[in-house]
A and B are shown apart, each in its own frame.
Chain A
Amino acid sequence: MGSALINLAYLAAATLFILGIKGLTHPRTAVRGNQLGAIGMLIAVVTALVDQQVVNYVWIIAGLVIGSGIGALMATRVQMTDMPQMVALLNGFGGIASTLVAGAALLDALQIDVTLVTIQFAIATAASGLIGTVTFWGSMVAFGKLQGIIKDVRLSGAQIINAILLVIALALSVWLVVDPTATWIYWAIVLVSTLLGLSLVFPIGGADMPVVISLLNSYSGIAASAAGFVLNNNALIITGSLVGASGIILTSIMCRAMNRSLTNVLFGIWVAGEEAQSSDEVYGGRVKAANAEELAMLMETARRVVIVPGYGMAVSQAQHAVRDLVNLLEERGAEVEFAIHPVAGRMPGHMNVLLAEADIPYDKMKEMDEINPSFEQTDVVIVIGANDVVNPVARTNPSSPIAGMPILNVDKARSIIVIKRSLSPGFAGIPNPLFAADNTLMLFADAKKGALDIMNALKAV
């Protein structure tokens, strides 16, 4: 196949990727969009296979078989609650693939002719090595944190270490451009980037993972793009660029939803509140605990109920129990909707996927801006395993660490039920006055058990 034809095939693949992502703009067209993307990938792979540069198929086929097996296994086994971990792993694998590709391309080119290693080639190789490796190790740490293997640590001085590592990596990159025959420099870049990837994500807290995963998603795209500059391959450049853009947009949405700057998230910085109120001051004797029967009585007459899910719902796999409760409420004539904060859960859209898994129609899942005006007309709000995203302090106290963070205004509802295991603070580490409000009742229980108990009590009423 001539090179013009090959490039046309890559163009077709890139076009299908763009159409594929376009399909994701609506749930109705999304499945088809994803399939278009897969077809594009198939075209790209077949095109690479018939490239005249490819003479030996043994390694390729072995790699494709092993990779497909592992990928298929992961995709069919993973639980929806563990989707953030899955995406973190996949991001990482994409990143390391770019690192390996750039390294191999450098060795290949050097063996044929040193002049093949142009300045563009060398810069792009260094960039792939750096970004790909940071993506891989950063994703591994993110995976470890999401999985609960790695605990949150507050590293002081991480910024300085990161800055030093980045400078070293960049200096090595310049060196590689000057002397591309010294391939050890490439591996030195990979080594330094390994340390950089680790130290970048280590200090970032578990609840900031939505930002980190989005950012690593973006990096994996940029790494692929850099590999495209190495190979002069437009399919890689276009696709990597698309994914890079996607990750950056999600990152900024997540940051805005937490009212935190990207720098603060990346360096694990919390703007310290002037005098954070102690939990005794906020809760002292005002928190009302209720049992499931009392809550069922409250819900019996409710016309409109809004459910606010948070990470706690994912942890206890409560989505199916919640669905059953919703069905029961609807049978009794109530209108039920879900209010989903952009950073609820551990990745963008995490709650929506869990609810979809439990067969809750997507038109019941409302975004923050859409549902906020309706809380005043809501009889009962049920907060399940969420905390900071419903803390009214964000609105009322300008010196609070979460001041200015857009929240779900559940405190405007007539009654609020909070299902939570204890009064322990959320990620921001501050007490939540909502729990002590006059119209709030606490059900101290695991999310799943709480939902089931209320449902059974409601059936008995």
Chain B
Amino acid sequence: MEMLVVSLTVFVLALFVGVEIITKVPPNLHTPLMSGSNAISGITLVGAILSAGSLGPQVATILGFLAVIFATINVVGGFMVTNRMLGMFRRKD
């Protein structure tokens, strides 16, 4: 139970940090914000790697393997497409 409270504390504090920063992102960059934050939500990849590589039952390994694929698409696709979009934004020259 103590663990849960610690985790919840972290969750709630992170929520406030998120709100604080994200309200400062200008509308110009809302699409890259979505794809970029999307990429980092692929952090589930960490859990997927732990499942796919551990000594669990075969089914869990396969689920982990599929999760690695999906999460990696999310991460790689997300960061790359965000990078591509942001590269297009330029100032008046």
Q: Verify B26–A94 contact, CB threshold 8 A.
A: no
Inter-chain CA distance A25–B49, complex, in Å, is 32
Question: Is A93 part of the binding interface, using a Cβ–Cβ cutoff of 8 Å?
Answer: yes
Interface footprint category on A = 35 or more
Q: In the complex, which residues 227-241 of chain A have their Cβ closer than 8 Å to any Cβ of chain B?
A: 227-241
Q: Verify A94–B28 contact, CB threshold 8 A.
A: no
For the residues of B in contact with A, the DSSP-based class is helix
List chain A residues, Cβ under 8 A from B41: 94, 217, 220-221, 224, 239-240, 243
List chain A residues, Cβ under 8 A from B12: 241
Distance to closest chain A CB from B55 (angstroms): 6
Given A44-B43, A107-B57, do A75 and B19 touch, yes or no (CB 8 Å)?
A: no
Q: Verify A90–B60 contact, CB threshold 8 A.
A: no
Distance to closest chain A CB from B89 (angstroms): 4
Q: Verify B77–A70 contact, CB threshold 8 A.
A: yes
Q: Verify A242–B18 contact, CB threshold 8 A.
A: yes
Q: Verify A357–B88 contact, CB threshold 8 A.
A: yes
Given A78-B81, A107-B56, A107-B59, do A93 and B28 touch, yes or no (CB 8 Å)?
A: no
Q: Which one of B4, B51, B74, B88 lies within 8 Å of A353 (CB-CB)?
A: B88
Given A34-B83, A41-B39, do A24 and B29 touch, yes or no (CB 8 Å)?
A: yes
Q: Verify A20–B28 contact, CB threshold 8 A.
A: no
Q: Verify A60–B60 contact, CB threshold 8 A.
A: no
List chain A residues, Cβ under 8 A from B24: 25
List chain A residues, Cβ under 8 A from B4: 119-120, 229
Query: Which stretch of A61-69, A171-179, A275-283, A417-425 is in the interface?
Result: A61-69
Given A62-B65, A363-B91, do A48 and B35 touch, yes or no (CB 8 Å)?
A: no
Inter-chain CA distance A53–B52, complex, in Å, is 10
Q: Verify B21–A25 contact, CB threshold 8 A.
A: yes
List chain A residues, Cβ under 8 A from B65: 59-60, 62-63
For the residues of A in contact with B, the DSSP-based class is helix
Q: Verify B32–A231 contact, CB threshold 8 A.
A: no
Question: Is A401 part of the binding interface, using a Cβ–Cβ cutoff of 8 Å?
Answer: no
List chain B residues, Cβ under 8 A from A64: 68, 72
List chain B residues, Cβ under 8 A from A387: none
Q: How many A-B residue pairs have CB under 8 A?
A: 402
Q: Verify A83–B91 contact, CB threshold 8 A.
A: no
Given A111-B57, A361-B93, A365-B28, do A213 and B34 touch, yes or no (CB 8 Å)?
A: yes
What does the 1/0 interface line of A40-76 toward B look like (CB < 8 Å)? 1100110111010111110110111011101110111
List chain B residues, Cβ under 8 A from A35: 83
Inter-chain CA distance A383–B78, complex, in Å, is 32
List chain B residues, Cβ under 8 A from A24: 25, 29, 32-33, 36
Q: Verify A241–B81 contact, CB threshold 8 A.
A: no
Q: Verify B57–A21 contact, CB threshold 8 A.
A: no
Question: Is A392 part of the binding interface, using a Cβ–Cβ cutoff of 8 Å?
Answer: no
List chain B residues, Cβ under 8 A from A249: 19, 22-23
Q: Which one of A67, A236, A342, A349 lies within 8 Å of B73 (CB-CB)?
A: A67
Q: In the complex, which residues 415-452 of chain A have their Cβ closer than 8 Å to any Cβ of chain B?
A: none
List chain B residues, Cβ under 8 A from A375: none
Distance to closest chain A CB from B45 (angstroms): 6
Distance to closest chain B CB from A78 (angstroms): 6
Query: Which stretch of A95-103, A287-295, A301-309, A403-411 is in the interface?
Result: A95-103
Question: Is A104 part of the binding interface, using a Cβ–Cβ cutoff of 8 Å?
Answer: yes
Q: Which one of B52, B55, B79 lies within 8 Å of A37 (CB-CB)?
A: B79
Q: Verify B29–A349 contact, CB threshold 8 A.
A: yes
Q: Verify A241–B84 contact, CB threshold 8 A.
A: no
Q: Verify A362–B28 contact, CB threshold 8 A.
A: yes
List chain A residues, Cβ under 8 A from B56: 104, 107-108, 111
Given A72-B76, A230-B47, A348-B27, do A104 and B67 touch, yes or no (CB 8 Å)?
A: yes
Which chain B residue has the least Cβ–Cβ distance from A341? B27
Distance to closest chain A CB from B14 (angstroms): 4
Which chain A residue has the least Cβ–Cβ distance from B52? A59
Q: Verify B63–A107 contact, CB threshold 8 A.
A: yes
Q: Which one of B7, B82, B86, B92 lies within 8 Å of A363 (CB-CB)?
A: B92
15 inter-chain pairs at a CB distance below 8 angstroms, sorted by A residue, are A25-B24, A31-B86, A44-B43, A54-B49, A63-B68, A71-B74, A75-B80, A75-B84, A93-B71, A103-B63, A119-B4, A253-B27, A349-B29, A352-B27, A362-B28
Q: Which 6 pairs from chain A and chain B are nearest by CB? A: A67-B72, A63-B68, A245-B18, A349-B30, A71-B76, A71-B77
